[in-house]
Chains A and B, each alone.
Chain A
């Protein structure tokens, strides 16, 4: 909103200048009714066809400036932290609470201050914060492009005082025909005092920690291999993008490729004649698809369906069998994963039989969340109904219940986990049984 007077008109100063300005404006007014209202003081602005703008009369301009100042002071007085980005992603305004937070944390944790560009700031974060920063950059892009009204993502970072986390909410605001983004910090917490960099080592058994976890290999199964064996294996792997809804294995078919997910998610579905497919397992970056090859079986018993778009490393099954022979650490690693997958399948079968839909949905969302880099993912209710083996109305009701408890937000097929701990409390005990050690949600 422009609070300025005309660019081409006289500059009002003092009562004479103001009178001259009003007289100049009056000349722009055409029509008897318009002039009558102008003379009666019932007009706030006159349209200037030459400048293509609205010119405010002095009383209106003074009133708007007063309300703008009041608004800025009110925003400054708010206890929540607010930051406003222009359409290019540059910070144009922050409130007092935001500035205090940035100052107290010495700019760490995406310490955006006035004039900084959020995209540039997201590129310059430490390695441990890259996942969170990428989610923030992606969210801001969506909001500024008008594709989403609101995006929330979790951001975790280390400081000398321990590990901090917060949820960043990004909302779009349209003014002057342009979209701005309003960022607010929510749920600021200082939880785990162990720095992020040390966390993955702590979560792994000592034997694996001693070999060193490859930070640049997202797949945990590959990352846990000794460096020399991992490098040799990586030479034979191709990076592929797996898209939502893509089927990479059908039951009874020969396993042609094995997949090591990096940031995608694959559902394992069992298909029973006359019924809909039912999910029995979930594989993400903690494991692989095609582990049965290590057991000497070359066909898939399940349908492997991509339910989270992302990348994976792929290898032909013939090459993988050769690697199993010569790579001494690969077979034990794959067998350990196959065993944990079997445990997951067992618990899922019991869970599907005994537990309520709401608790199963919570368990399933948590399992999905820990395998993906963001707390927000795309899921349709029809897809969820297939995953849980229930009718769609059951999913609607269960998702509605979780949403009413403010544990999740569900809109237009996008699910956002708002309260991780609350969702864990709402899930059945099976989640703790199938939780993958070391697969921390924010890592």
Chain B
């Protein structure tokens, strides 16, 4: 009886990079709400499960925001991979957000 040959190369799990993000908001203020919605949409579309997001309310944790050198909110900081980078505002400019995430729109199309 013929036996099936095992594949010569074992399946190698793909290396995934987790993007760590920190979004500073001011409670339920209008731009903060928009920023959270925009960022979640971008992350779900482009990063799937490959991201970690921490949302910090500066009204509740002002000292944390000041120690992280946050000047205004909403403010998004990418902590890793690579060098830290910021985007200010309600994150309606998707291209700008993708740029700091290290994802160019041209690569994704």
- Contact surface of A with B, Cβ cutoff 8 Å: 1-2, 28-31, 33-34, 36-38, 40-47, 49, 52-54, 56, 59-60, 63-64, 67, 175-177
Contact B71 A44 (CB under 8 A): no
Q: Known A-B contacts: A64-B29, A175-B60. Give 20 more (CB < 8 A).
A: A31-B71, A31-B88, A33-B86, A34-B71, A34-B88, A38-B72, A42-B74, A43-B89, A44-B73, A44-B74, A46-B72, A47-B58, A47-B62, A47-B70, A54-B58, A56-B59, A60-B26, A60-B29, A60-B32, A176-B60
With beta carbons under 8 angstroms apart, the residue of A1, A34, A49 that contacts B27 is A1
27 residue pairs from A and B, CB less than 8 Å apart: A1-B27, A1-B59, A2-B59, A28-B71, A29-B72, A31-B71, A41-B31, A42-B90, A43-B31, A43-B72, A43-B88, A44-B26, A44-B30, A45-B26, A45-B58, A47-B58, A47-B65, A47-B71, A49-B66, A52-B63, A54-B73, A56-B59, A59-B30, A60-B29, A63-B30, A64-B29, A175-B60
B104 interfacial by beta-carbon distance below 8 Å:
no
B22-52 with Cβ < 8 A to chain A = 25-32
**Quick one: which of B27, B62, B71, B92 contacts A30, CB cutoff 8 A?**
B71
Could you tell me the distance between the alpha carbons of A333 and B82 in the complex, rounded to whole angstroms?
79
Q: How far is the CA of A176 from the CA of B63 in the complex (A)?
A: 11
Contacts of A45 in B (CB 8 A): 26, 29, 58-59, 72-73
Residue of B nearest to A61 (CB): B29
User: Chain A residues with Cβ under 8 A from B66's Cβ?
Assistant: 47, 49, 52
The smallest C-beta distance from A66 to any residue of chain B, in angstroms, reads 10
CA distance A316 to B92 in the complex (A): 79
Q: Of all chain A residues, which has the CB nearest B70?
A: A47
Q: Complex Cα distance A49/B70, Å? A: 10
Report how far A67 CA is from B87 CA in the complex, Å: 27
* A contacts with B: majority SS: mixed
Report whether B26 and A56 are in contact in the complex, using a CB–CB cutoff of 8 Å. Answer: yes
B74 (CB) vs chain A CBs: closest residue: A44
Residue of B nearest to A49 (CB): B66
Smallest CB gap from A43: residue in B: B72
Q: Does B62 contact A54, Cβ atoms closer than 8 Å? A: yes
* In contact, B72 and A63 (Cβ under 8 angstroms): no
Q: How far is the CA of A241 from the CA of B88 in the complex (A)?
A: 61
Say which residue of A1, A38, A40, A47 sits within 8 Å of B57 (CB atoms). A1
Could you tell me if B60 and A47 are in contact, using CB atoms closer than 8 angstroms?
no
A-B contact count (CB 8 A): 93
Min distance, Cβ B50 to any Cβ of chain A, angstroms: 26
CB neighbours of A2 from chain B (8 A): 59
A45 to B31, CA, bound (A): 10
Q: What B residues does A43 contact at CB under 8 A?
A: 31, 72-74, 88-89
**Whole-angstrom distance between the alpha carbons of A28 and B66 in the complex?**
13
- Chain A residues with CB below 8 A from B65, complex form: 47, 54
Most-contacted residue by chain A among B30, B86, B90 (CB, 10 A): B30
For B72, give its contact among A47, A53, A67, A176 (CB under 8 Å).
Answer: A47
B71/A29 in contact, CB under 8 A? yes
| Docked pose: A88 CA to B19 CA in angstroms | 41
Query: Given A33-B86, A37-B88, A54-B73: A44 and B29 within 8 A (CB)?
Result: yes
Q: Roughly how many angstroms separate A329 CA and B6 CA in the complex, as a whole number? A: 86
Contact A63 B28 (CB under 8 A): yes
A67 contacts B28, CB within 8 Å?
yes
- Known contacts being A42-B74, A42-B88, A46-B72, is A63 close to B29, with CB within 8 Å? yes
Residues of B within 8 A of A38 (CB): 72
A1 surroundings in chain B (CB, below 8 A)? 27, 57, 59-60
Hey, which chain A residues are within 8 Å of B61, CB to CB?
177
**In the complex, are the beta carbons of A34 and B72 less than 8 A apart?**
yes
Please name all residues of chain A whose beta carbon is closer than 8 Å to the beta carbon of B87 when the two chains form the complex: 33
The reply to whether B28 and A64 contact each other, CB–CB distance below 8 Å, is yes
Provide the residues of chain A in CB contact with B59, threshold 8 Å. 1-2, 45, 54, 56
Shortest Cβ distance from residue A2 to the other chain B in the assembled complex, whole angstroms: 6
Q: How far is the CB of A366 from chain B (nearest CB, A)?
A: 43
A60 to B73, CA, bound (A): 11
Q: Mark B72-86, 1 if CB is under 8 A from A, else 0.
A: 111000000000001
* B32 shortest CB reach to chain A, Å: 5
A59 nearest CB neighbor, chain B only? B30
What chain A residues lie within 8 Å of B26 (beta carbons)? 44-45, 54, 56, 60, 64
Q: List A contacts of B32 (CB < 8 A).
A: 44, 60
Q: In the complex the two chains form, what is the Cα distance from A37 to B63 in whole Å?
A: 22
Query: Which residues of chain A have C-beta atoms less than 8 A from B88's C-beta?
Result: 31, 33-34, 36-37, 42-43
Give Cα A330 to B105, complex, Å.
89
Contacting residues of chain B (85-107) with chain A, CB-CB under 8 angstroms: 86-90, 92
- Lowest 8 CB-CB distances: which A-B pairs, in order? A42-B89, A60-B29, A44-B29, A37-B89, A45-B26, A44-B26, A37-B88, A54-B58
- How far apart are the CA atoms of A31 and B69 in the complex, in Å? 12
Cα separation A29 to B70 with both chains bound (whole Å): 10
Residues of B within 8 A of A175 (CB): 60
A52 and B62 within 8 A (CB): yes
